Chains A and B, each alone.
Chain A
């Protein structure tokens, strides 16, 4: 599903160069649930961003669904993300000025859909995360766990093949975290969605199919 070959990422600022990723090669199979662990600053988010085409590697190749991505234009990349990828972030990244339903509809706005279709799909996605009774709320009126569930609904509303989750339970207590984890596991099992998740929690990581450990930008396991 995703194939990384010799990925290297160097961040250059005026004074220093940081080697955030060093020669990472990774294959993620279709339908796999993969977790990435490692100490803070080791390059997990960087790796996820590169897989999500939000960032470009300094060196190396990425293939998603057997498609090379380095020649794609900004517009094509955006379309690719919209069709194939769903993102979940530690800090949710909801738009506070929009109601829950409108937040979930967001990815569909960048596709050819009618308002009716959008509403239907978003309601459906919110049902899957158990939030159909909160569609008129604003994000600030929700708990952290509820917000993350809205973010998951937004990630799945467009039925992407791949979901990239950067510490989705990082801001939540363990009960809430387990709830979110259950949703992701079900998604992977029932819909066959490929999931790549960054986590700091060994327990969460062990619920997934495979664990990749990073240390200082290099893959250690």
Chain B
């Protein structure tokens, strides 16, 4: 029977071409939508990797102007002690402007044994950064007082870089080159990768450098971990303290929980829009498919009547029509999958092959389900055609 149906479809390839193109097109769109959804979901499942519930970000612009490095250090050290002394504050850390859940980025290239690695995020932070963020140190250690500028600047990398460059091997002690391969940096520790861009974004490569006196001149963020339930009154007090200390500076305090909500929102909105567009497209395809199948059945009443006369039961007629649609879907999906597998093969968007494959399987399942459901009713109608009536009509 299969061969018979295949011949029938093949001999009607012209009529079937439109239907198959429609299936192919919707497969490709669904593949795109599912790729994005799977990617987001895959990221969502991974842990955030740090504490954000009770962490606030203080932004300030560098108001303190001095030529003397010592007085600059003293200025910020006093500020640190003042804040730390507050009972609501557990820990604080001065760091670079690319704090979690913002769109601020500082990216560049590093290389290891002449093999370049791009899109590496560079962070600058002081000794108390992991404690403030509750970050996990997987290997080696974080910066401490002994890390003074030597020939090879000490750095900490995240687990994404580690896996990419060293796989399962040890990272601590390795030398990584900066972008122009002039300077070598020594890895002293590996921290767990954290989702800096919200729940739905990938962790990405992260490289941490220690603050030095120079960096204090341009840094403008303080991360503060407060005790749970720190009050608005305390926030007001903190703000006043800062504003008084840093005259002429714009001070702003934000909560990471709020920043997380808003960055998630910005990731979700395009995803929702795309899903809605994809959904409408699927409905459109379903209606089109339904219409075409319905039309086909009315075109083929004579054939259906004849098949009934020579021995097809109503059920056989209806399953034949469903099989035919499924064969058409299979042919379209083979062509579609050929296009789809190019994405992981050519590594088009730097996503892992597993994401593309899951998306492909989802899109295939979806198309099959859609085609099946759309053939079900026309198939039932076909089964109900009276053979005597259908044969009489021609």
Contacts and interface: CB of A to CB of B under 8 A. Distances in A.
Q: Do A and B bind each other?
A: yes
Interface string B308-320: 1111111110000
- Best-surrounded residue of B305, B308, B314, B388 (most CB of chain A within 10 A): B388
A81 B3 contact: no
B7 A98 contact: yes
Interface in B1-18: 1, 3-4, 7-8, 11-12
Interface string A148-169: 0000001000100000000000
A17 B314 CA distance: 27
Interface residues of B, number: 27
Interface residues of A, number: 32
A30 interface: no
Contacts of B303: 95
Given A93-B394, A98-B11, A54 B309 contact: yes
Contacts of A95: 8, 303, 306
A78 B316 contact: yes
B312 A78 contact: yes
Contact of B310 (A75, A87, A97, A98): A87
Given A54-B308, A102-B4, A109-B1, A49 B388 contact: yes
Contacts of B7: 98-99, 102
Contacts of A91: 394
Contacts, number: 74
B312 to A, nearest CB: 6
Contacts of A79: 311, 313
Provide the main secondary structure of the chain B interface: helix
Contacts of A102: 4, 7
B302 A110 contact: no
B80 interface: no
B115 to A, nearest CB: 58
B3 A115 contact: yes
Interface string B152-175: 000000000000000000000000
Interface of A: 45, 49, 52, 54-55, 74-75, 77-79, 81-83, 87, 89, 91, 93, 95, 97-99, 102, 105-107, 109-111, 115, 138, 154, 158
13 contacts: A54-B309, A74-B313, A75-B315, A78-B316, A82-B310, A82-B311, A83-B311, A91-B394, A93-B305, A95-B8, A98-B11, A102-B7, A107-B310
List 4 A-B pairs, minimum CB-CB distance, nearest first.
A82-B311, A110-B311, A78-B313, A55-B388
